[in-house]
Amino acid sequence: MKEDTQETVESGTFRINSIIISVMMTSFFIPFIGSSTNLALPLIEREFTGSALTLSWIVTGYILASAMFLLPMGRIADIAGRQKIFLFGTAGFTVLTFLCAVSWSNASLISFRILQGITASMIYATGMAIISSTYPAGQRGKAMGLAVTVTYIGLSIGPVLGGFICQYLGWRHIFFFTALMGLASVVFILIRVRDSGTAGQGERFDFAGSILYMLGIGGFLYGMSSLYSAPSARYILAAGIACIAGFVLLETRVSYPLINLRLFSRNIVFAFSNLAAMINYSATFAITFLLSLYLQVIRGYSPQTAALILLVQPAVMALFSSFAGSLSDRIEPRLVASTGMGLNALSLFVFAFLGIATPVWIIMMNQALIGLGLALFSSPNTNAIMGSVDKQFYGVASSVVSTMRMIGMAVSMAVVTLLIALFVGNVNLRQTDPVLFLTSFRIAFAVFGVFCAAGVGISLARGNVRAS
């Protein structure tokens, strides 16, 4: 694979090789299962019987585990080999997806989803690092755009195919189908991708820092998600913050830290780009979750009909992501990404006025606007992050941006969980008051709109990648 990479750099032409194909394959089926699972939540509730809060943990548990393990997995990948960790993660994700398909209760499904999140962190931590080390700076944005495009294709097909599977075969077959895709990816990686070495060979792994980091992130995100529903949450939140403070202190004193904090203190592009990513995902991740429940629970649409309506946002994202990535190779990424975040803020404020009888065409048009905003933000922002660091930090940078994304997703779900608990309570979906349910949705969209509006300023303040 080194020869392939060298050939690409020397020729100056963009060429898809086995490495990016393998990244694109995982970039497809991971978001596919995510968007399909969101759509399947009402059916899972009917079979296992659970409240809206319990259902939210099918999503939140996965995200929480991913966020906790991302940074340690990125560091392990730098030491042991990125392709190796990428393969192990893909294989583990495949096995756990099958186990989700045969789960027998809410507890078992949530448990398998948490373990699935750990294996997903191995994939998230290595994917963009592999692409960044494979393609030169002038082609990196386009390569990342391809990976992001495939991600959004997975998000697009997920609701449609997932809705069809749910309606005619049952929600379990979504996991069976994804497990087959994962198996095909494992076979492809084994046959076509060879490990290209390590960036941190011979360095020690920071076990103490990793434990503090995982306890801190886990405690912080769980505490936020459960402030209203669990009496102990406030103490867990405080403990999480204390662990994060201890982690930061430790990382300034060890020879081989889990993350070099100077990347944040001395690199404003890196620091602000990651903060912008966290804010953007905090504001936008829960959109599909909220609209899925709105369309099926409040409006009474079938899973397949809801899927077709939800298709608009990821379809637009897939259509424009490759273009946005290429654009960020020619125009400063902060300008492209900030424009996208501004469109997201506008769309979220529109959804804050969602009503029980809002015309479907308005919902679809607003989804299209969000899709365009996300396309303009995602790959240009990642391009800015990876372009702001030296090659030896690609693994850490990839892990950090993925961590910011996962923390953002967890914050997004924490806001939704807190608002549902506050307005609706821990009741069965079929017993939910539609007016109160919709009120919690509106407030969530308004809060997310404020997040995004603030994020535009941070995104613009990061400075130019080419000048850094």
Domain-by-domain residue ranges, the chain? Answer: 16-190+256-460, 206-255
Q: What is the largest CA-CA distance in the chain?
A: 64
Please write the tens of the pLDDT for every residue from 329-359: 778 888 888 999 999 999 999 999 998 888 9
Question: Pick from 403, 77, 402, 361: which is nearest to 220 by CA?
Answer: 403
The pLDDT assigned to 424 comes to 74
Residues 456, 338: contact at Cβ < 8 Å?
Answer: yes
Q: Give mean pLDDT, residues 68-94.
A: 86
The pLDDT assigned to 361 comes to 93
pTM equals: 0.74
The pLDDT assigned to 16 comes to 57
Does the pLDDT value for residue 12 go beyond 50?
A: no
Q: Give mean pLDDT, residues 437-452.
A: 91
Does the pLDDT value for residue 57 go beyond 60?
A: yes
Question: What is the CA angle 454-457-458, rounded to 5?
Answer: 90
Q: Give mean pLDDT, residues 66-87.
A: 84
The pLDDT assigned to 245 comes to 92
Query: Token digits for 218?
Result: 């886990």
Q: Which single residue is written with the structure tokens 């095909």?
A: 184
Looking at every residue in the chain, the average pLDDT score rounds to: 81
Distance (Å, rounded) from C-alpha 28 to C-alpha 155? Answer: 8
Higher pLDDT, 417 or 393: 417
Fold classification of 16-190+256-460 is Growth Hormone; Chain: A; (1.20.1250)
Q: Give mean pLDDT, residues 22-29.
A: 83
Please write the tens of the pLDDT for every residue from 143-181: 777 777 787 777 667 777 877 788 788 889 889 988 998
Q: Give mean pLDDT, residues 35-49.
A: 79
Count CB atoms within 10 A of the CB of residue 234. 12
Distance (Å, rounded) from C-alpha 320 to C-alpha 332? Answer: 17
Please write the tens of the pLDDT for every residue from 357-384: 889 999 999 999 999 998 899 878 887 8
* Exposure string for 108-117, b = 16+ CB within 10 A, e = fewer: ebbbbbbbbb
* Helix H or strand E segment including 306: helix 303-310
Please write the tens of the pLDDT for every residue from 113-131: 999 999 998 888 887 777 7
Does the pLDDT value for residue 301 go beyond 60?
A: yes
Confidence of residue 260 (pLDDT cuts 50, 70, 90): confident
Distance (Å, rounded) from C-alpha 63 to C-alpha 205? Answer: 24
Q: Which single residue is written with the structure tokens 């867990």?
A: 236
Q: Give mean pLDDT, residues 72-101.
A: 88
Q: Give mean pLDDT, residues 254-281.
A: 84
Distance (Å, rounded) from C-alpha 400 to C-alpha 395? Answer: 9
